[in-house]
Amino acid sequence: MVGLKNYVRLFTEDAAFRNSLGASFMFVGGYTILVNLIALGLALLLNLISKKIKSIIRSIIFMPNVVSLIMVSFIWQFMFTKVYDELTVVNGGLLPDVTWFSKGSTAMVTIIITLLWQSVGYFMVIYIAGIESIDKTYYEAAMIDGAGYWQRTCRITLPLILPSITVNIFLAISGAFKTFEIPYLMTRGGPGNSTNLIAYNIYREAYMSNHAGYASAKAVILCLIVMFIAFFQIRAMKRKEVEV
């Protein structure tokens, strides 16, 4: 199979590739929403406390981002298989008995949680930088007018940090589509093909099946998908940004 025939095969014969695309879109959607909500929430909370304590907490939350994804994968695999088991009802704990890697839905959750823990600090720092760049006179004027905290957040903070939101959504989408180490080390794409994300699918095609040309075709499709989504996401978000 050479040239354009590879692309025809992708969408007509390769069910595993189509399944990996579906799993990837599910993973990317869940991760992108959660990482931005959690990072934004943490940034807003840290903005309420003193600078000294804020700096310490920010460093602690950011610290997992400098750890290798390989180490992160091993840490969380141990957490889900050993530590969690010790805290279940069966062993006298309070947590429900869940076999995380036996079902596709729970296995996907483990991957999302692992990547969230590793990366949320990075997104949080970007949101904090955006919040700190806002002119404080806007808040002072709003407080004089009687606006409460949530009104100031919704009417001032969120509109003025839209550039940060745009950047973080783009980084989350592109990073999630490229996720390889976590499914490779934690689930090997299983159970079944439920966590066989597109990057891992390309790896298996290139290095396990030795189909370099076919894997390259898959990589081109992945690149086009990320570019397409990023283009329309950035374009849509830019229209909503507030010019100060």
What ranges do the domains of the chain cover? 4-238
Walking along the chain (244 residues) 10 residues at a time, the average pLDDT comes out as 77 87 94 97 92 90 93 93 85 82 92 96 96 91 89 92 93 94 91 90 90 90 91 80 54
pLDDT at 242 (0 to 100): 54
Peptide bond into 96 cis (omega under 30): no
Distance CA 193, CA 93 (A): 32
Give the homologous superfamily in CATH for domain 4-238: MetI-like (1.10.3720.10)
CB count within 10 Å of CB 71 equals 13
Torsional sign, CA 23, 185, 40, 227: negative
Q: What is the widest separation between alpha-carbon atoms in the chain? A: 70
What do you get for the CA distance between the two ends of the chain, in Å? 55
Helices (H) and strands (E) in the chain, counts: 13, 0
181 and 93 in contact (C-beta within 8 Å)? no
Q: Note whether 45 and 124 are within 8 A (CB).
A: no
Q: Report the C-alpha gap between 95 and 217 in whole angstroms.
A: 45
Q: Residue 90 has which token pair?
A: 């069966």
Q: Give the count of beta carbons closer than 10 Å to the beta carbon of residue 160.
A: 18
DSSP codes joined into one string, 21-66? HHHHHHHHHHHHHHHHHHHHHHHHHHTTS-HHHHHHHHHHHHGGGG
Amino acid at 204: R
Contact 127, 40 (CB under 8 A): yes
Q: Do 168 and 42 form a contact (C-beta atoms < 8 A)?
A: no
Q: What is the pTM for the complete model shown? A: 0.92
